[in-house]
Amino acid sequence: MASVKAPLQRFKEATQIVYGPLDNNLLSEQAARVWTPPETPGAGGHRGRYLWTDAFGVINFITLSKETCSPLYLTLAKRLVETVHNILGKTRDGTAQLPHATEAEPLKGGLRIGKVDADGSDGDGQYHHYLTLWMFALNCLALATGEAKYNQLAVQLAKAIHPHFVLHINGKARMVWKISTDMQHVLVPSEGHLDAATGFVVYRLLQATAEHFEAGPTVLEAEIAEYQQLVNRQGKLQVSNDLLDLGMGLWMCHFFRDEGWATSVGNQSLEVARSVLDEKGALMVKNAAHRLAFREFGTCMGLRCYGVDEDVERRVSAVIDFWERYFDESMDEDLRPISLVMYAAAVIPGAFRNGYL
């Protein structure tokens, strides 16, 4: 994927490595309706599905639909959503829905991460930041298709997981980072750096879309109020030097950039990114073996959503150009799917951007 190619071509090529041949000149509507996302290589998780990677996949399909003026990519996005719900919304053996889920409310039990291992320190469970990204993907699909059911699914998921990640201890609310697949146990009690703010942003986006579809302006009112309290805690929302957190923080802030908390975090993050991506800085002088592509692509995508000057845009392009030279020889096979979908979003953020749809 040489950078001399047009951005849309690079975007398509990366997507097709993960999801198979998808050229809209070859796909028919009938073929798109029965398309099944491949397990190999797939999204790199359990039975070929990994929630974070497939959330990017759904959003990227929506971007492809708009960039190519082809509704077939929306059909593929719907099929990917259906497949993820059928696999990650069920137990690992696929025989039953997750606890609390029903046929009428299939996401009431949340969604598994999609880890390859069932147990252990890197075993399966549920992550708040993966779930909120999936909610965002569903919400984008609702806006792109005009079908309210995808927003309703996102709201259903939002309400279902909230009390399991936002706990009340001694009269104070706090969050946890990872819970068990059945949502009954806390697996990692520490709080994700951006989880409260991401919840505050994504739940508001879901509510705005619900109001657009005339579902009412208060569908997530109580949950949003709790996230706002968590965001307003003194010293809890700080700028991160972690490249993925940095990028996702910028992405999150750009939706409400005129609000004080978002302006502060966004502007500080922008300056950190400017420093981190300096061509003579510690990161940029490292070789590919000592860098993680997907985390850097997160920074690039976040910066392009937030909006940058020519100097920072040049640094973003340098990161993308660097990895295009090393995709085949220096990328961990297990990380290839997540890296490729995030590369595509860094090249063309598309539906990740506020106001794109």
Question: What does the pLDDT read at residue 2?
Answer: 46
- State how far the Cα of 207 lies from the Cα of 209, in Å rounded to an integer: 5
Identify the pLDDT of residue 171: 86
* Average of per-residue pLDDT values in the chain: 93
> Can you give the pLDDT at residue 178?
98
Interval 137-159 mean pLDDT? 98
Q: Is residue 272 part of a domain?
A: yes
Judge whether 270 lies within some domain.
yes
- The count of domains in the chain is 1
CB atoms within 10 A of CB 356: 16
In-domain check, residue 10: no
Place of tokens 């003194």: 234
- The whole-number average pLDDT for the span 199-214 is 96
Tokens of 130: 């993966």
Instruction: Determine whether 131 is exposed, middle or buried from the number of CB atoms within 10 Å of its CB (0-12, 13-18, 19+).
Output: buried
> Percentage of the chain with pLDDT > 70?
97
- Domain assignment present for 11: no
Domain contains 191:
no
Q: How far apart are CA 338 and CA 283, in angstroms?
A: 20
Under 8 Å between Cβ of 22 and 76: yes
The yes-or-no verdict on residue 323 having pLDDT over 90 is yes
**180-194: pLDDT as tens digits:** 999 999 999 999 989
Predicted local distance difference test score (pLDDT) of residue 28: 87
Helix, strand, or coil (residue 178): strand
* pLDDT value of position 137: 98
pLDDT digits (tens, 9 = 90+) for 243-300: 999 999 999 999 999 999 999 999 999 999 999 999 888 888 898 888 999 999 999 9
Mean pLDDT of all residues in 118-143: 97
Q: Which DSSP letter does residue 318 get? A: H
Please say if the pLDDT value at position 1 is more than 60.
no
Choose the weakest-confidence range: 2-6, 234-238, 277-281.
2-6
Which pair of tokens denotes residue 313? 């845009």
Please check whether residue 74 lies inside any domain of the structure: no
Residues 6+ away with beta carbon under 8 Å from 106: 85, 89, 97, 153
Tell me, yes or no, if the pTM score tops 0.95: yes
Whether the per-residue pLDDT at 154 is higher than 90: the answer is yes
Instruction: Report the 10 Å Cβ neighbour count for 22.
Output: 18
Identify whether 317 is part of a domain.
yes
Question: For residues 17, 56, 43 and 164, what is the CA-based torsion angle, rounded to 10 degrees?
Answer: 180
- Domain hosting 339: range is 239-357
In the prediction, which pLDDT does 329 show?
Answer: 67
Asked whether 60 and 345 are in contact (CB, 8 A), the reply is yes
The secondary structure of 275-317, three-state, reads HHCCCCCCCCCCCHHHCCHHHHHHHHHHHHHHCCCHHHHHHHH
Is 245 inside a domain boundary? yes
